[in-house]
Amino acid sequence: MPEGDTIFRAARTLNRALAGQTVTRFHTVLPQLSRIDQDSPLAGRTVESVESRGKWMLMRFSGDLILLTHMRMNGSWHIYRQGEAWRRGHQHMRIVIETCEFVVVGFDVPVAEVHTQASLAHHPSLTRLGPDVLGPEFDEQDAVARLRALAEFQVGDALLRQSMVAGIGNVYKSEICFACRVNPFRKVASLTDDEVSCLISKAHEFLRANVTDTSDGIVTYRGFRRTTRRADSGERLWVYDRRNQPCRRCGTPIRSHKQGESARVTFWCPRCQPL
């Protein structure tokens, strides 16, 4: 599933390519978007901005229309120059937005809605979001208080709750807990003040480190998410997806187990992160 850093990068890249440009063609296979496009055509409108909000993306068009999307597990946005071959099959296409120079394609987009600013202000998912960990005004103390309020939740489950902090996903959940030497199956109520502060500061640090602006124009991100700061691509993560492999700190085999209502797999080192 794309996490907050992936959506942030995608929105930044789309904004570079589309902001200020006129839509020359809009096409979709999604009936709900087709109906709106028939009544209020997007072709001819100007793309005002593209931004991320946690794991959501907002594409704003002139005339107070906002395309809101969520990628869930498999969705993605691609940017191509006019005439360039797509890297995925047309059967996966859900949305196409064209300008004179670029073709932007949403592949396997599971959630796509068109809103006005007024309707967006009442969107149930957006109104419940906590502070965006990649937002320009992220307040770590506010996030600390929100995490503390989830006292009866297990730490790993609490970190995934977008009402606490928006943008943390399953990879970062495990990596953040390892970096702070916190067992992800502990209750939030058991955490010390230092541990809570560490979890929030590491969340901010890790996600910010993975959206560093390389000023690469419209080239989408082709690297790999890193938390270890190691140059070797095979050593880029501490524990995620490393079941039974040796811990990079102590050599103990990494363990994994499903956690929470959604049964997302959590990875941890039983020695570095004792229960």
Residues acting as catalytic residues: 2-3, 55
| Contact between 173 and 266 (Cβ < 8 Å) | yes
- Closest by CA to 59, choosing from 130, 137, 121, 115, is 115
237 vs 228: CA distance, rounded Å: 6
| Contact between 265 and 175 (Cβ < 8 Å) | no
User: Cα–Cα distances in Å, from 233 out to 20, 30, 238?
Assistant: 37, 38, 12
User: Cα–Cα distances in Å, from 163 out to 80, 83, 153, 185?
Assistant: 35, 42, 13, 19
